[in-house]
Amino acid sequence: MSAVQRTACACAFVLFFAFPAAGQAPEGFYDFSVAGRSLDTIDELGVTGSPIDVDPVTWRLAVNGAAARKPMSLSYDELAAMPRVNRVSLLICPEFFEDVAEWGGVPIADLLALAGVSPSWKEIVVTSVDGYPAVFSRAEVDAHVFFVALTVNGQVLPKEHGFPARLVAEGLLGGRWVKWIASIEVR
């Protein structure tokens, strides 16, 4: 099964922009505000794709690329020991679900700083353990809150939601919230 097939939300995202139907709107049209919305329980959160078993003992998060002057590879324990943010965010997978949850994790900006990223970097590519990528321009990263989530609603991320690590990209559609992250390439 290909990475695109495994994520129905990503398929909807691609089809949505390639062949917009009457009444559908681009990403900027959605209201990502969580005001007035209550948290969904973990059991209520939408699930796309088939969960992947990842061994946290051998798993590593690579932060590398042409713009990373100090490429690094972090273990789960090293990532979990870093300072974290907790944010209530809205995850929208058009035509499938809208979920409100509190995600906790390490800001992408902190990871880029540790990797000694060149000030002239242009984009990041976040890739899952099975090769599913999402590309983000620097303008997107600067305009939105990005972090590598390790928890949801105060609990360790379940594998259905991307254990050991999942991207949270507030204000962007869910097909780009990469689950089971393996690397962040900085170009």
User: Number of C-alpha atoms within 13 angstroms, CB side, residue 135?
Assistant: 4
Give the pLDDT of the chain (187 residues) as one tens digit per residue: 344 434 444 444 443 444 344 344 456 688 999 999 999 999 999 999 899 999 999 999 999 999 999 999 999 999 999 999 999 999 999 989 999 999 999 999 999 999 999 999 999 999 999 999 999 999 999 999 999 999 999 999 999 999 999 999 999 999 999 999 999 999 9
Q: CA angle, corner 41, sides to 39 and 42, nearest 5?
A: 125
Q: Where are the domains of the chain?
A: 3-42+52-186
Q: Look up residue 43 and give its amino acid.
A: D
Which pair of structure tokens corresponds to residue 157? 């991320």
Is-contact 79 150, C-beta < 8 A? yes
User: Which CATH architecture describes the domain 3-42+52-186?
Assistant: Alpha-Beta Complex (3.90)
Pairing of strands 60-64, 181-186: parallel
Residues ≥6 apart with Cβ < 8 Å to 113? none
